[in-house]
Amino acid sequence: MKSSIYIRADGDAQIGLGHLVRCMALAYMLKEEFSISFVYKYAPESIIEEIEKAGFSLLKIKNEEDFLVILNSGGIVVLDHYGLDSDYQKEIKQKGCKLVCIDDLHDKEFFADLIINHAPGVKAMNYRSQPSTQFALGLDYVLLRPAFLEAAKQERKIKGLKTVFICFGGADYRNLTRQCVHQVVELNIFEKIIVVIGSAYQKKEELLKFTNNIPNLSIYHSINEGRIVDLMNISDVAIVPASGILLEVLSSGCRVISGKYVDNQRHLHSQYKSINAFIDADNFSEDNLKLALNTLISSTFKMPERFIDGLSSTRLLKLIKQLEIENEISLRKATYLDSKTTFHWAKDKRIRAHSFNQTEIKEQEHHLWFSDKINDDNCVYFIATIEDKSIGSIRFDIKENQAIISYLIDPLFHGQGFGVLLLRKGIEILTTLSEVTFNAITGYVMPENISSVKAFQKLGFDSELENNILKFTKKLK
């Protein structure tokens, strides 16, 4: 039986469709492994139809309490909603659910198990989060629907400026579509002009009247992703805002003119501008748009190599599956009965290869050391189990206000992503204990121990190199 995922997102003319569109992208990535339900208060008919056609469940609620009532312990909640605050996140966690937050504003404290932000350049330090929160940041985790991910995998070279693609999303309440069309027509360099308008666009009749006598212009209304990809793939240039549509045109390999006209586009705009992903039209004023088009024509702007590889689906599915598996992992305090098991783990050649002390361990020495550790008030030692089978250990030695981490996974369970789960679980429990005090969590890793390096990075630890050893630190806020 598939585990349940509840996706809470809204979208309308005021809110915009970005939340629902990127949640649809994530849902497609997860649909083969999970049972997915969309929960909404507001959504346009076109999105509702797409959700139903894709086979996802759809639940309409009147208020946020309705959503909390339907949650079951052990489920996974995906929250993509600017209006739901930290207290609401805590209520979801108190229901026994894993929480994934899709967020690009980092404007509140987060209680999520996993935070997804596919903007380039964003860092874990930008977030106020819990010590055990895991991060999926940057373009490796871009939220795009299958057709766009597939387009990103295709090689493409732009040789001229013959076709332009214009789209300002589902609502475009400022009617920038018309303004942009006017500028492009005046420029008179494109052989073909493609305009896409969304289901919530209110100025369709006005636009049709305005463009009636432009023979090389075609308007497409509320089309599906496959048709959009086809249109992007035949376009040399795209003019779009810094929202989800920006990522879609970048996946297709177009040259791009982009800008911002609402507050929630500000971060995406600045972050993609910083990596030279588009020609900047700033706020899409008439002067700024003219300047951007002239920059395009002058060929002074050089697009970087394509930086969306189309593999984010694989990466995100693995992370969500790990959250599911985490529900099966338990931590218990180590006892002397664990001494023999931990000795066999510690002496394994694969474990010794990444240990700071690689000399052979003697069994009697280990038993004495182990006894000291489990009886040390400044040591918190856990054994990780799945269905009562021991799969690894994690230890925190409290020294000088630091909790210093040592952990290992039974070699039989290597390569399954248990390292980051053990770190998350251990840190989560450690921070609830009243008998130990500390203000930072620290881990030391040999640089060649790639799996451990990645595990600490995914949890947003800061790192520095000390005497050829990587020191990972997370200060408690």
Residue with tokens 């290869």, as numbered in its chain: 353
Q: Given the DSSP bridges, would you call strands 163-167 and 192-197 parallel, antiparallel or unpaired? A: parallel
pLDDT the model gives residue 302: 65
pTM greater than 0.95 (yes/no): no
pLDDT the model gives residue 339: 96
Distance (Å) of CA 214 to CA 17, 166, 190, 219, 380: 29, 15, 12, 11, 73
User: Distance between CA 144 and CA 80 in Å, rounded?
Assistant: 15
User: Distance between CA 186 and CA 173 in Å, rounded?
Assistant: 23
User: Distance between CA 372 and CA 202 in Å, rounded?
Assistant: 72
User: Distance between CA 263 and CA 56 in Å, rounded?
Assistant: 31
Element holding 176 (H helix, E strand)? helix 176-187
Q: Domain 330-475 has what CATH class? A: alpha beta
User: In CATH, which of 2.10.10.90, 3.50.50.60, 1.10.10.10, 3.40.50.2000 is domain 147-298?
Assistant: 3.40.50.2000
Neighbours of 165 (CB within 10 A): 26
Give the CA angle between residues 138, 46, 27 to the nearest 5°: 40
* Sheet bearing 217-221, strands edge to edge: 217-221, 192-197, 163-167, 237-241, 255-259, 279-280
Residue with tokens 């494109």, as numbered in its chain: 190
Residue with tokens 């997860």, as numbered in its chain: 30
User: In CATH, which of 3.40.50.410, 1.20.58.220, 3.20.20.60, 3.40.50.11190 is domain 3-143?
Assistant: 3.40.50.11190
Q: Could you list the mean pLDDT of each consecutive 10-residue stretch along the chain, which spans 477 residues?
A: 92 72 95 96 87 94 95 93 95 96 94 95 94 96 96 88 91 90 93 91 90 94 90 96 92 94 86 92 95 85 77 97 93 97 90 76 94 97 95 96 96 90 96 94 94 95 94 92
Q: Where are the domains of the chain?
A: 3-143, 147-298, 330-475
Are 279 and 291 contacting, i.e. CB atoms less than 8 angstroms apart? no
pLDDT the model gives residue 327: 87
pLDDT the model gives residue 15: 63
pLDDT the model gives residue 85: 95
Phi-psi region of 301 (alpha: psi -120 to 50; beta: other; left: phi over 0): beta
Q: Do domains 3-143 and 147-298 have the same CATH topology?
A: yes
Nearest to 166 by CA among 157, 155, 177: 177
**In the Cβ-directed half-sphere of 210, how many Cα atoms lie within 13 Å?**
16
- For 297-374, strand residue ranges (E) read 329-333
User: Distance between CA 176 and CA 426 in Å, rounded?
Assistant: 51
